[in-house]
Structures are given as C-alpha cells and as structure tokens.
Chain A
Amino acid sequence: MKSLILRDLRLAVRSGGGFALTLSFFLIVVMMVPFGVGANLDLLARIAPGVLWIGALLSCLLSLDRIFQLDWEDGTLEALATSPIPLSGIATAKATAHWIITGLPITIAAIPLGYLLNLETEAYIWLVASLSVGTPALSFIGAFGAAITVGIKRGGLLLSLLVLPLYIPTLMLGAQCVTIGSETPIKLLALVAAISLFCIALIPFACAIALRANLK
C-alpha cells in the first residue's frame, strides 16, 4: 500500500498537473467571487468561510476522475485487483494519495486566500482546522464517486452530479465551523472529524464493491 501511495504521488508530480493545477484552480475560484459580488470588504468577510470551503470542494472535485481512470485505462487496475492487496486497501491508498496531492495543499493555500477575502483574524485557526479534518472526507467520498464512474466514458459530469450531494454535510458543518458567531465551533469541528473518520473507515469497502462491479 505504501508503494501504491508513493507511486501515485510520483505520477502526480511527473505529470506536472498535481499540485499546481489544483491550487491554481482554487485561486481562480476564490478570485472570481469578488468579481462576482463586488469588492465590499465587509460582505467578503461575511461570505469568506463559505467561499473558501466551496473553492476547496470544487478544486478537490477537479482531480477526482484521475484517481482510478488512468489505472483503468492502462490495465494497472486489473493487475492490482488480481494482486494480494484487497480492493479496499487499494481504494484507501488511492484516496490517501489524492488527499496528499489536493487536500493538504488546499488547506495550506486557504490561509493566504482567506486574507484576500478579508477573513476575520480569529477565523483562521478554525479555517485551517476544519479544512484539515474535512478534506480527508472529501477525498474518500470522491474516491467512491470515481470508483463508481470509472467504467463510464466521459463520466466527469456524472461524477460531479454523484459526488456533490455527498459533500453536502461536510460542507455545511465545515463552513459553519469557520463562520464567526457560530456558537460552538469546537462541536462542529468534532462533527466534521467524525464524518471524516466515518468515511475513512467505511468508504473503502463501498469503493471495493463498485470497482469489483466495474471490473466484471
């Protein structure tokens, strides 16, 4: 499993897409918001938590189809499925690699982007905390969507349609946690962490069922 994670990271770096593409997309999405709603700093401060979380979510979505698609196309997935590693382990490794490639840089990049949106000073800690415990859920749920749509040609749009509704609880709780004035950010943070742990524990098995069905 370790070698699978390492290989995925290496592939992401080699193909150049990896970090840079996701981060540029995140930057652009966040940048579009002031263009759309105006440069009123008070307004921006108020909507910053939501915008940053939605930006993180969309950037995450962007690279989801790569999780299994490339390995599916060149026959690696078949070979992996017949290897001693169980499919759930493969899904865990792939989702972890995806998190390192997207979730982690997004969490870090959110800090300067928060500044662009005039995020309140006290909110930064909750922003980083909620993104770092919430993005694993995004990667694992995304891996599930990718596993389901891996056999579908041009399944990108469908992938978004399937995955975005699954992101709703994480987004609601995560963004609410960052919003200043929400009474119990620590409780919300705990709930986001609970969703993440739940996803890490159970989603790989759902991925395994989906991959198995697709490989048939």
Chain B
Amino acid sequence: MSLWEYANPAKFMALSARILPYLAIASSCLLLAGLFWGFFLTPADYKQGSTVKIIFLHVPAALMAINAWLMMLVTSLVWLIRRHHVSALAAKAAAPIGITMTLIAIATGAIWGKPMWGTYWAWDPRLTSFMILLVFYFGYLALWEAIEDKDTAADLTSILCIVGSIFALLSRYAVNFWSQGLHQGASLSLDKEQHVDNTFYLPLLVCIVGMVLLFLTLVLIRTRTEIRSRRLIALRLRGI
C-alpha cells in the first residue's frame, strides 16, 4: 500500500479520525507545558529583562508562518502533478492557520520591539518579509473564495501558490538591498537563539514542537471539514 492511497478522501477520513485525538492531546499538552515553563519558570534575561519570555510565542509562530506556506507549496505541487483532491484541500486548510501564525509573529515582534527598539514597527528586512508573506496569504485565500468551481479554484490557487512562492523568495532577498542602511543591527530573536543557554532553549524547543503539532491538528481538522463540504456539494448535485 503506497502513501498515495491516503489521498483517497474516504481513506484519509478514516486515518485522520484515528490519529486526531492523540495529536490533539499531544499538541495541547506540549504547547501548554512549554508556555507554562517559558512564562513562569524561566529567569529574566540580563539584557532584555522579562521580554525574553515573548520568544516562546514569537519564534514558534514565525517558524510555522513560513512552514505553513511551504506545506501549501508542496501540496499545491502534488495537486497539479498527481491531482489528489485531499492535497489541494489541505493547502486550503493550511492558509488561515498560516495567516494566524503570521499575525502572532508580527504582533509579538512589534510588542517586543517597543521597549527594545523604541518603536512598534520598523521597516526592518525581517518584519517587512513577514508583512509581504501576510499579503500573499490574503491573496491566496481571496482567490479560493472568489471561484465557484472547486477544482478550478484548486488549480488556480495552486499555480498562484507556486508563482507566489518564487516572488516571496525574491522579495525576501530584494528587501536586503532595499532597506540597507535604514535599520542596522535589527537582529531578531532567531539570531540570538544561538547564544541563549539551555534555560531558554529547552522550553523554546518544547513550544516549537507543540506549535508544530497544533498546526498538524488544525490542518487535519480543517482538511476534514473541507472534504466533508465537498461531499456535501457532490451529494446535493446528484440530487438524491
């Protein structure tokens, strides 16, 4: 039995129903534990004070914001090449989660930036890239909503996702040329991650794993919803 078997909607529904409970429990336990550990049990950083606690939300969210788009890219390619319906629907399911993650990353970054940089928002390359990612997400979802026929919508959003990925990547590098000299030394927590010692690193790791699992849980639930609504449409169309 190959992996592609699970692209069959009924099989996918059966499999996902089996693993969902474990995934949901694992993700909520890990995320809550990680956040509790990070929030209550870590000391304040000597330089950043207690704002360092924000990285337990900021870093996992930022990672998932990008990974959600990567997942959409892969599933879009699978849909265009192998035409597995579940794949296209999983891409659609991931987009709102990606948007939420991007918003969390931007919001926590801005809130952290206020005491650290003295401003909520600066056109720093990394912040700007996330803003650009956000508009790509909006465009992608808007296209899904605008097209009536679901398979056509899947085709068009898939190709948009692929082309969009290329241009998002281009923007990521173009941004470096564009804002050089504007905002020096605006390195975010990711760079510091290498310096943080285990007191911060371990809870951060737990939070990241928790966030990944939460993402998977939500993607599965949302994909199941999408599959159900497709079946609903199919049943109604058959008029029986």
A–B: direct contact at CB < 8 Å: yes
> Which residues of A are interface residues toward B (Cβ below 8 A)?
141, 144, 148-149, 151-152, 155, 158, 161-162, 164-166, 168-169, 172-173, 176, 188, 191, 195, 203, 206, 209-210, 212-214, 216
Q: Mark each residue of chain B from 138 to 160: 1 if its CB lies under 8 Å from any CB of chain A, else 0.
A: 11001100110001100110011
| CB < 8 Å neighbour of A148 from B132, B151, B160 | B160
**Which residues on the A side are within 8 Å of B143 (C-beta)?**
148-149, 158, 162
Instruction: Decide: A213 and B142 in contact? CB cutoff 8 A.
Output: no
Known: A148-B159, A195-B170. A176 touches B178 (CB 8 A): yes
**Which residues on the B side are within 8 Å of A164 (C-beta)?**
135
Instruction: Decide: B163 and A172 in contact? CB cutoff 8 A.
Output: no
Known: A158-B143, A210-B159. A166 touches B178 (CB 8 A): no
Instruction: Decide: B159 and A169 in contact? CB cutoff 8 A.
Output: no
**Which residues on the A side are within 8 Å of B188 (C-beta)?**
none
How many of B's residues come within 8 Å of A, CB to CB? 28
Instruction: Decide: B136 and A165 in contact? CB cutoff 8 A.
Output: yes
Q: Is the interface of A mostly helix, strand, loop or mixed?
A: helix
**Which residues on the B side are within 8 Å of A191 (C-beta)?**
174, 177
Query: Separation in Å of the B136 CB from the closest CB of chain A?
Result: 5
- A-B contacts, CB under 8 A, total: 78
**Which residues on the B side are within 8 Å of A158 (C-beta)?**
142-143, 146
| B122 contacts partner chain A, Cβ-Cβ < 8 Å | no
Q: What are 16 residue pairs bridging A and B, where the CB atoms are less than 8 Å apart in the complex?
A: A148-B143, A148-B159, A152-B146, A162-B143, A165-B164, A165-B168, A166-B167, A168-B132, A176-B177, A176-B178, A188-B177, A206-B162, A206-B163, A209-B80, A212-B155, A216-B152
Instruction: Decide: B156 and A148 in contact? CB cutoff 8 A.
Output: yes
| Chain A residue at minimum C-beta to C-beta distance from B154 | A213
| B33 contacts partner chain A, Cβ-Cβ < 8 Å | no
**Which residues on the A side are within 8 Å of B135 (C-beta)?**
161, 164-165
Per CB-CB distance, the 8 closest pairs between chain A and chain B, nearest first, are A213-B155, A169-B174, A169-B170, A172-B178, A172-B174, A165-B135, A162-B139, A168-B171
**Which residues on the B side are within 8 Å of A210 (C-beta)?**
155-156, 159
- Complexed CA–CA distance, A177 and B177 (Å): 10
Query: Separation in Å of the B197 CB from the closest CB of chain A?
Result: 38
| Chain B residue at minimum C-beta to C-beta distance from A153 | B146
- Complexed CA–CA distance, A176 and B142 (Å): 30
- Complexed CA–CA distance, A182 and B54 (Å): 36
**Which residues on the B side are within 8 Å of A165 (C-beta)?**
132, 135-136, 139, 164, 167-168, 171
Instruction: Decide: B164 and A166 in contact? CB cutoff 8 A.
Output: yes
**Which residues on the A side are within 8 Å of B163 (C-beta)?**
144, 166, 203, 206
Instruction: Decide: B167 and A213 in contact? CB cutoff 8 A.
Output: no
- Complexed CA–CA distance, A168 and B131 (Å): 11
**Which residues on the B side are within 8 Å of A141 (C-beta)?**
167
